[in-house]
Homo-oligomer: A and B are copies of this chain.
């Protein structure tokens, strides 16, 4: 296994999930948690985040048992970030009922010196000025990926514009693409974003798959069709973690357009495991063998025998 590692910066949280099948309080959550657990199936992970006094050691131990270095998780006085949400019956939409930032409100990511060598960096959805501060701390890794959200797109356009100049890959959803550019058509909006800094753009569309836009064109990966979806929480973060985990694991090979495209399948596969159970339960026991089986099944989902020519 490659020793190339992934650095993940972002939120660690407790989620209170009101699902159609019942309410689940105090579930381990946060973007950094999901991304780290997903990436850790494929590569060593280092995580930077903050938790409160109430965060159980057992959760940290869990992360460590999956190959996640938790030395970058700061323990602050106060309570851990807590989010409460309610999902619609078909799980297609959700409403935030309560957000308690708690110790996350004062989160200023400090990257440990030993982490600065990670060649793959994932900046979870935090204030773009903080994401930019991380970029300044780490120098020049092989790839910096960033997530963001509507709140920062509308509220912090200047800081976000600065951030975009420094990242290689932006991973956002289709609504965010439209809000960021003011352009309805995704293809045109993607061209616009690729002129602002990132050389790669991934547009997540939930159960409708994801698009990659780069200098080699456009690539599409579907969502893996599941018989049972239980909790979409963290699927996008698992997607990003799976993507960077795959890149870290295979970085011995020259990074070709195909590498990035294959990474999209690993990302989508990781998202598919994530949604199978409440919280990160499925990810935290996922094996490389199970992942490999899903990838084979995923390959069949898109296998048409290679050629589409008529003659």
Residue from B185, B258, B296, B310 in contact with A292 in the complex, judged by beta carbons closer than 8 Å: B310
Of A70-78, A110-118, A163-171, A213-221, which binds chain B?
A213-221
Q: Is the CB of B295 within 8 A of A265?
A: no
Q: Is the CB of B310 within 8 A of A218?
A: no
Expressed in whole angstroms, the minimum distance between the Cβ of A246 and any Cβ of chain B is 8
Copies in the complex: 2
Judged by a CB distance under 8 angstroms, whether A137 is at the interface is no
Of A27-35, A119-127, A203-211, A273-281, which binds chain B?
A203-211
Interface size class of A (residues with CB under 8 A): 35 or more
Contact with B along A282-311 (1 / 0, CB 8 A): 000000100010011011111111111110
Q: A211 vs B220: C-alpha distance in the bound complex, in angstroms?
A: 14
Residues of B within 8 A of A310 (CB): 249-250, 288, 292
Judged by a CB distance under 8 angstroms, whether A188 is at the interface is yes
Q: Is the CB of A304 within 8 A of B262?
A: yes
A–B complex contacts, Cβ < 8 Å, 23 sampled: A185-B227, A185-B229, A188-B227, A208-B208, A211-B225, A218-B301, A219-B300, A219-B301, A220-B222, A220-B301, A222-B222, A249-B310, A261-B303, A261-B305, A262-B305, A264-B304, A292-B309, A295-B308, A295-B309, A298-B308, A299-B307, A299-B308, A306-B306
Report A's interface with B, CB cutoff 8 A: 90, 184-188, 205, 208-209, 211, 217-220, 222, 225-229, 249-250, 256, 258, 261-262, 264-266, 288, 292, 295-296, 298-310
